[in-house]
Every structure is written in structure tokens, then in C-alpha cells.
Amino acid sequence: MVVRFPEDQRPPAWKIAFFQYVIVSTFVALLIGYWRLQIAEHRYYQQQAERNRIRDLPVIAPRGRILDREGRVLVDNFPAFSVLLLREDLPKLTPDRIRGIAQGLEIDPGDIQQLLDKTAQLPKFQPVMLKPDATPADIAYVESHRVEYPELELLQVEQRFYLKHEFAASLLGYVGEVSEDMIAKSGDRYRPGDVAGKSGIEREYNDVLSGRDGMRRVVVNSRGQEMGSMTTINALPGNDLRLTIDFNLQMAAETALGDRSGAVVAIDPNTGEVLALASHPSFDPNDFAHHINRKEWSQLNTDPERPLLDKAIQAHLAPGSVFKIVTATAGLETGTITPSFTIICPGYVTLYGHTFHDWIWKKHRGHGSVDLHRAIVESCDTYFYTLGKMLGIDKLAYFANHLGLGSRTGIDLPAEDPGLVPTPAWVQKVFKHKWYAGETISVAIGQGAVAVTPVQLAYMIGGVAQGGVFHRPHLVFRDELEALGQDPPGGRLVKFPLSPETVAAVTSGMWGVVNEGGGTGAGARIAGLAVAGKTGTAQVVSVALKNSAHNADYKNNAWFVGYAPASNPQIVVTALVMHGGESSVASPVAGAVIKAFFAEKQSGQTPASHWQTQASLAPVVGGHLEPQSAKSVEGPR
């Protein structure tokens, strides 16, 4: 029997019903909320979940090594660590934490913030390179602060290593973090913190040398621990690059230059292969492979000797008397003179109402009676003043341009200087005045506004010695580039045929420069080898290098461009000794390189080959062989 308690004690039934309505409406509201997330916005949250658990870790592709022509390693890599910054928990990176990380890794907190800003567009699961070159202390710091700073991660990388430090540095170049500009241009290839070539070979052949970084997409939990990997894209290592450079010859060039400021370029004129390319002072590219700090950078940039300048291709200097080869060639080719054209040199000449002194005037005398041969041998200014006036600037400029001056040789290095061959049109455009006739006279002996680079002079002399065949200087073998799927730079050679008579006259003059009495290039003489060449003393420092000359100890730049053997050149060498004073300081430098070249050849594959070629020299230069010189050539036999 049910016994009910009195009805007045019972709370009204509507109140229970009210509770039920509350429950129903609340639950419906909750279900609507879940409907929105799970059905309406499902796609969005699904993507979020995917991103949540994946992380892309780069697999760094080792950069290709750089070898010399014999396969000797010049640039290699060694394993090192980089510090990555994981960006999944970005808002957790408060200024305080950034400061902490910056302090621990000894970097500027501003740099971290900048890096984060730069990479704000990247997916959150892609980490960024915080410090490409982790020191042992950094590694220890990251390892010991895993709990405190889980956003730091170590990544094994291949650090660039320049085995010989300053050796061939300006040629090889250096690598560094890619610039924003490069990132923008590269499509998706580069990301902040990636390494790319910044100068020299490293930059020119960056595409060959740099591999393609791989990627490991890993599943991680909320603490960043790897739970497995989803996909792996293997890294494609960069290609090794074999240079035409000969290690021994490069060493000889740098040794010969010593601690003097200047450059040496050695080229095989038959092919254009660059055998040595030295520039001093230089720098240690390893300093760049590490993160170079602002102080070191500005030091390198403000050094008056400009160590970052590759003087072999970037020095913009007056060629001085080396230019007389152009003047002589122009005179002969245009028929203005013949080799027998003779003047009497009293030590000066008055042209256009202005007296032009010969360099020999310092000794208060002249060269006396000189024909073309003697004029080249003794570097008689008066002869070429006269010839310059006879030719006029237009013909001089025409030949200078066609013999390879005034424009880039096309050597496969970045930022080659084109040099300058002045013309009336150029003067009008730049200085807004008419060409002064006297300027032609200066140009004829390689002064005035005319400017060249060491590589240009080697190119020019080599081409003239080859009878007008100019092989584009290059540092990488063309067929090897093609094998790597690269387009070799166009223009293998330029032909500007010179008559054999012209070549014979000019080369015999250059042979005399080195081997005859009164020759200005005796310093390059090598017993038993027919070395030819031309000296030069540049009195005017060009604008580009004006700042580099200390006013106090300002001296002329000394040039020597030589080749050997004279009849069938296998090597042409430009030596530039800046502030060297007399041109005689440059010829021994070139001589040393030429000597080293043939010494190596002799001990190498084809012994004595150059001795044989030398025998054919006599018919070519026969008319000018003087008994004394001939003896010195034939002596060793």
C-alpha cells in the first residue's frame, strides 16, 4: 500500500518539469556546439590536427667539394651541428624566453626576433635555422636545457672547410647564409638560414656545388618527441667541382707574390684554362663559414688593401706599357708602320704643343734610334707616343677592344671588372667635354683613363701570341660542366685574326724584353726557356683603388705579362705587384710561375716537351735573335 506524504509537502510538479526542460535545452545547445566543430568545421580542424603532429626536419645536403685539376681537394666539408628553432609553440616564445635563448647561445635577441618575423609565413611545423654554426658550448647548452627550452633542436650539418685557409681564397670565394634577395628569387629552394655561395667559385657554381636538402617529416607528440617518421626525402649531395687550377702553380704564384699586394693570373692560351689565379692580401673563407660577426666584416671591408677584392679580376688599373703591345699591333695591322719604322728618341717628344717625356728621361737621355723591336724591348715611350699620334684614338680603341680590353673576358667568376678603353664618345658622355688630342698620346702607352684587370692582360697577350685567337678564360672544364647538366657560359673563343708578320714582330719584341740586353723584363728570364713578355708601370691609380694607396708610401703599380715558349705559348702569366715601384719587381713573379709550370710539366707526363717546341722558335723570331740571347737560349742543350 502506497503511503503518500501530504500533498502540501510535495514541491509542485512543474518544478521537476522545469528541470527537465533545462536539461533538454542545455543538451541541445551542447550538441549544436559539437555539430559545429565536428561537421561544419570538420575540415579545418582536421588540417589543424595534421599540422599538430607533423614536423619537417631538414636533411642537409653536403655541398660538393672543390678540387684542383689533378683532383686535389681544396674545399671540403666536416660534420658540425646547427641549432634549429622549432616554431610550433611560437606564442610561448615570450621576449623573456628569447632573451634566455639568446644569452645561452650568445646571439643577439634582436636577430632571433628578426628571424621569426622573416619566417612568419612558413608553416609552423617547419623549424628555422637559429645558429648554423653551433660551438661545442652551444651543443652542450641545448642538450642541458631540453626541458627549459624544448623549442631548441640540434641538426647535424656539413660545415664548409677551406683546407688551405687563405690559399686561393678570393678565387674560391666563401659561403654564407642566403640573403633575403636570394630566397625570394629561388622559389622554394632556399629558406632563411640556408647556406649558399657568396663569392668566387662558390657563388658562380653554387647550383653545381649545392645539393638539394632533403626533408624528414616526422610525427611528434606534444612534447616534441619523435614518434616515427612519415616520409623521408633524401638529400641530394652537391656535385664535386674540378677546377682548371693547378694546386702547385697556384702555390707558386702565391709564394712568388709573397706578402705584397697584387695579383697573379696564369692561363693556358691554347684553351683558356686558368691555371692559377691569386690575389693578395686575402682572407680566410673559414671565417665566413662560421657566422662572421659585424666587426670582422667591417674590418675586411674597410681594410685599405681590400682583401675581399679579387684583384685578379676586379683590380681596375692602368696597364701602363703593357698596352704598347696593343699600340704596336694596331700600327702593324693598319699598315701605319712596318717593323722597320724607326724614330730617334731624345727622351721626349713634343706633340700638339705639349712635351711628352719618355720614362728614360729620368736618366737625362733618350733611347736613341729605335725600330719597333727595340721600342718594345726597351719600352720606348717616345716611339709609341709618335705611333699613337699617327694612329689616332679611334684605331687604338678599335684594336684595344678587339684584343680583349674594355670588356669582360667572360671568366666564370662573379663581378669581373670590364676595364675601360676610353673613346671620344665616352669622354663626351662622362666628362661632357671634347677629346683632347693629348689623351690619345697617353692612351698609346697605357696611361690616362685606360684601365684593365690582370686577367684581361693575360687574355690579351695570350690572344696576340696565338695570332688572334682568344680563348675565354675559364676555371671549370667545359665538358665536365655539360656532364653535370649545366650550360657552360657561351663564347668559347673569339677570333680576331692577326697577320703572321704582325705576330712575329710583336712576339719577337716581347722575347727581347726578357732575353735581350736593355730589355725591361730580364727578371723573368729562365735559362733554357724562351720566355716572352711585356712590362708595365702604371702611374695612375684608378678610381676604384685610389683609396687603397697609402699616400705616404704611394708607389707605381708594376706589371709583367709573360708567356712561354715564345713561339708556341703554353702558359701566359700576368703578374701585378701593387705599389711595387719599378716594373722590374713584377717580372720575377711571373718568371717564377712560368718556371714552376715547366718544372712540373717536365717532371710530369711529357718530359722535355717544351724544350722541343723551343727549337722551332728561331725561324719565327729569327731576325731579331741577338747572339747573346741566342746563346742563353741554346746554352743548356
Q: Which spans of this chain sit near another protein (rule: CB under 8 A)?
A: 1-5, 8-11, 13, 15-16, 19-20, 22-24, 26-27, 29-31, 33-35, 37-39, 41-42, 44-46, 48-49, 52-53, 89-92, 219-223, 227
Residue type, 564: A
C-alpha 204/C-alpha 194 separation (Å) is: 17
* 611 Cβ contact partners less than 8 Å away, ≥ 6 residues apart: 528, 637
Exposure of 30 by Cβ count < 10 A (0-12 exposed, 13-18 middle, 19+ buried)?
A: exposed
Phi/psi at 232 (5° precision):
-130, 125
8-state DSSP, 90: G
Annotation says 321 is catalytic: yes
C-alpha 241/C-alpha 67 separation (Å) is: 6
For residue 433, how many other CB atoms are within 10 A of its CB? Answer: 9
Identify which of residues 6 and 490 has a Cβ nearer to another protein in the complex: 6
Identify which of residues 38 and 114 has a Cβ nearer to another protein in the complex: 38
Min dist CB 230 to another protein, Å, is: 12
Identify which of residues 7 and 188 has a Cβ nearer to another protein in the complex: 7
Min dist CB 224 to another protein, Å, is: 10
Identify which of residues 152 and 586 has a Cβ nearer to another protein in the complex: 152
Min dist CB 51 to another protein, Å, is: 9
Cα 89 to its chain centre, rounded Å, is: 41
Min dist CB 83 to another protein, Å, is: 21
Strand order in the sheet with 571-577: 273-280, 262-268, 571-577, 557-564, 532-538
**SS3 (DSSP) at 21:** helix
Identify which of residues 32 and 137 has a Cβ nearer to another protein in the complex: 32
Min dist CB 130 to another protein, Å, is: 19
Phi/psi at 138 (5° precision):
-65, -45
C-alpha 478/C-alpha 461 separation (Å) is: 23
Strand order in the sheet with 214-220: 54-59, 214-220, 226-233
Identify which of residues 19 and 78 has a Cβ nearer to another protein in the complex: 19
Identify which of residues 93 and 620 has a Cβ nearer to another protein in the complex: 93
Task: Name the catalytic one among 321, 379, 583, 584.
Answer: 321
Min dist CB 259 to another protein, Å, is: 58
Cα 372 to its chain centre, rounded Å, is: 38
Min dist CB 232 to another protein, Å, is: 19
* 637 Cβ contact partners less than 8 Å away, ≥ 6 residues apart: 528, 611
C-alpha 106/C-alpha 140 separation (Å) is: 13
Q: Helices 627-634 and 500-515, interaxial angle, to 10°?
A: 80
Cα 108 to its chain centre, rounded Å, is: 30
What residues act catalytically?
321
